[in-house]
C-alpha cells in the first residue's frame, strides 16, 4: 500500500469581477443585504463568447497544477472531473480534458456529480486508486460555470447572488512515506433531502427538454437552482462539524493538531460557525468566499491553492478539507502536508 500526496495545485477564475453593487443594477438587492446573509462581496462570472467553459477553465487550472507538480501531462494515469455544470449533458468534461490537454495516452476519465462535495469525493476516489498501486499520478479537477444558468432577476436573487465561476485542480501522486499525504477521507450522503438543494430540470424522469419547449412557460423555474437556505444552513453546520471530528478521531488526532482547515466556501457564516465550534484562530482557517462566491466543486481546490500560495500551509502541517452540499452529501479529507 501507498499514500497519495498532493504534488501540485492550480486554479483559474475569469477576469470579469461582478460586485454586489453590480447585481443591484439588475435585481432588487444591495451590498449590505448580500454581505449580511452570505459574506460575499464579489464573484467572477464568465463573459459570454470569451471562450471560458467548465472544461476550459478546468484545463487552465490543470496546467497550473501540472507545472507545480513538475510532471508532464502524459505522466497522468487517470482523470477525475467534479462538476454540476458540464459543458454538455453528455459526454462529461473528463474526456474533454483528455482531448484539450492533447494527451498522447488514452487514459481513463471519470466524472463525479456530487456538487459542493464533488472535489472531496473525487479526491477520495483518486486516493484509493493510488493507495492500491493501480495508478501513480491522477489529475483531479473541480470546475463550475454557474453564471449562465442562474435566474439573474429579483425572482432568483436568493440563489443567484451566491454563486461564481471558477476551477481548481490537484495532481495526486504516489507517496511511499506513510506518515505523509492523505491520511484518510470520509464520505456521507442523506438522499431524503435531495430536493432541498436541487435543479430538477431538464431530467429524464420528471421534466425533459421536450416538455420545457412544449410548454414555453416564462414562469417555469424548474430549470433554475432551488435552495431551502435555512434548512441547508442548519444541516451544513451540523454535518461539517461531524465529519471534521470523524477525520480527527480516525487518525487519533485532536483539534489542537489542526494547522489549516479549508472548508467549502458556501457561506461565510457557516465557516465562521465551524471555526467558533472548534475554537480555531483566524490563521488556522482559510476563507475566500468574499472574493469568489460559492464555486461549488471548485471552491475547496481554489481555497487550498490560495492558502498554499499565501504561505499558510507548510511541510508537515495537518490540513483538513471539508465540504457539504446538495444531495445532501458531505465529506472530509485529513492530509499531512
Identify whether 146 is a catalytic site residue: no
Catalytic, out of 116, 146, 186, 286? 116
Q: Is 70 left (phi over 0), alpha (psi -120 to 50) or beta?
A: left
Q: Which residues of the chain fall below pLDDT 70? A: none
Grid cell 457561506 — which residue? 267
Reported pTM: 0.96
Identify whether 294 is a catalytic site residue: yes
Q: Is 167 helix (H, G, I), strand (E, B) or coil?
A: strand
Residues 161 and 150: their CA atoms lie apart, in Å, by 9
Residues 304 and 168: their CA atoms lie apart, in Å, by 9
Residues with Cβ within 8 Å of 203's Cβ and at least 6 positions away in sequence, in order, are none
Computed on alpha carbons and rounded to an integer, the radius of gyration of the chain in Å comes to 19
Say if residue 281 is exposed, middle or buried (CB neighbours under 10 Å; 0-12, 13-18, 19+). exposed
Identify whether 264 is a catalytic site residue: yes
Please choose, from the candidates 198, 162, 164, 166, the residue with its C-alpha nearest in 3D space to the C-alpha of residue 38: 162
Residues 252 and 336: their CA atoms lie apart, in Å, by 13
Please choose, from the candidates 173, 142, 183, 180, the residue with its C-alpha nearest in 3D space to the C-alpha of residue 70: 173
The pLDDT score that the predictor gives to residue 205 is 82
Tens digits of residue pLDDT in 223-278 = 899 999 999 999 999 999 999 999 999 999 999 999 999 999 999 999 999 999 99
Residues 302 and 216: their CA atoms lie apart, in Å, by 38
Query: For residues 5 and 175, is the Cβ–Cβ distance under 8 A?
Result: yes
Catalytic, out of 264, 267, 286, 287? 264
Residue 13: CB atoms within 10 A of its CB come to 24
Catalytic, out of 20, 235, 267, 294? 294
The pLDDT score that the predictor gives to residue 41 is 98
Residues 125 and 123: their CA atoms lie apart, in Å, by 5
Residues 219 and 106: their CA atoms lie apart, in Å, by 45
The pLDDT score that the predictor gives to residue 223 is 86
Amino acid at each position: 500500500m501507498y499514500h497519495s500526496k498532493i504534488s501540485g495545485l492550480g486554479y483559474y477564475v475569469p477576469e470579469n469581477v461582478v460586485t454586489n453593487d453590480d447585481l443591484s443594477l439588475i435585481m432588487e438587492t444591495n451590498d449590505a443585504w448580500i454581505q449580511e446573509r452570505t459574506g460575499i462581496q464579489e464573484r467572477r462570472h464568465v463573459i459570454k463568447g470569451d471562450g471560458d467553459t467548465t472544461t476550459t477553465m478546468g484545463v487552465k487550472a490543470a496546467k497550473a497544477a501540472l507545472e507545480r507538480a513538475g510532471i508532464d501531462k502524459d505522466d497522468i494515469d487517470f482523470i477525475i472531473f467534479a462538476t454540476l455544470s458540464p459543458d454538455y449533458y453528455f459526454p462529461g468534461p473528463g474526456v474533454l480534458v483528455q482531448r484539450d490537454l492533447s494527451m498522447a495516452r488514452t487514459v481513463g476519465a471519470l466524472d463525479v456529480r456530487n456538487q459542493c462535495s464533488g472535489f472531496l469525493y473525487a479526491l477520495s476516489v483518486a486516493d484509493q486508486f493510488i493507495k492500491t498501486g493501480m495508478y501513480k499520478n491522477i489529475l483531479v479537477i473541480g470546475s463550475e460555470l454557474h453564471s449562465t444558468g442562474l435566474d439573474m432577476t429579483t425572482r432568483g436573487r436568493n440563489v443567484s447572488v451566491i454563486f461564481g465561476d471558477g476551477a481548481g485542480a490537484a495532481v495526486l501522486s504516489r507517496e511511499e512515506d506513510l506518515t505523509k499525504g492523505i491520511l484518510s477521507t470520509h464520505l456521507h450522503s442523506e438522499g431524503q433531502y435531495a430536493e432541498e438543494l436541487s435543479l430538477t430540470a431538464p431530467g429524464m424522469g420528471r421534466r425533459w427538454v421536450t416538455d420545457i419547449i412544449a410548454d414555453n412557460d416564462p414562469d417555469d423555474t424548474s430549470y433554475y437552482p432551488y435552495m431551502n437556505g435555512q434548512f441547508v444552513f442548519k444541516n451544513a453546520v451540523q454535518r461539517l462539524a461531524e465529519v471534521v471530528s470523524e477525520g480527527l478521531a480516525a487518525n487519533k488526532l485532536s483539534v489542537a493538531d489542526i494547522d489549516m482547515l479549508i472548508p467549502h466556501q458556501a457561506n461565510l457564516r457557516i465557516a465562521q460557525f465551524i471555526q467558533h465550534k472548534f475554537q480555531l484562530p483566524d490563521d488556522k482557517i482559510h476563507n475566500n468566499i468574499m472574493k469568489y462566491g460559492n464555486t461549488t466543486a471548485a471552491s475547496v481546490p481554489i481555497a487550498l491553492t490560495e492558502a498554499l500560495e499565501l504561505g499558510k500551509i507548510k511541510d508537515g502541517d495537518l490540513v483538513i478539507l471539508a465540504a457539504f452540499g446538495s444531495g445532501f452529501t458531505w465529506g472530509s479529507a485529513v492530509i499531512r502536508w
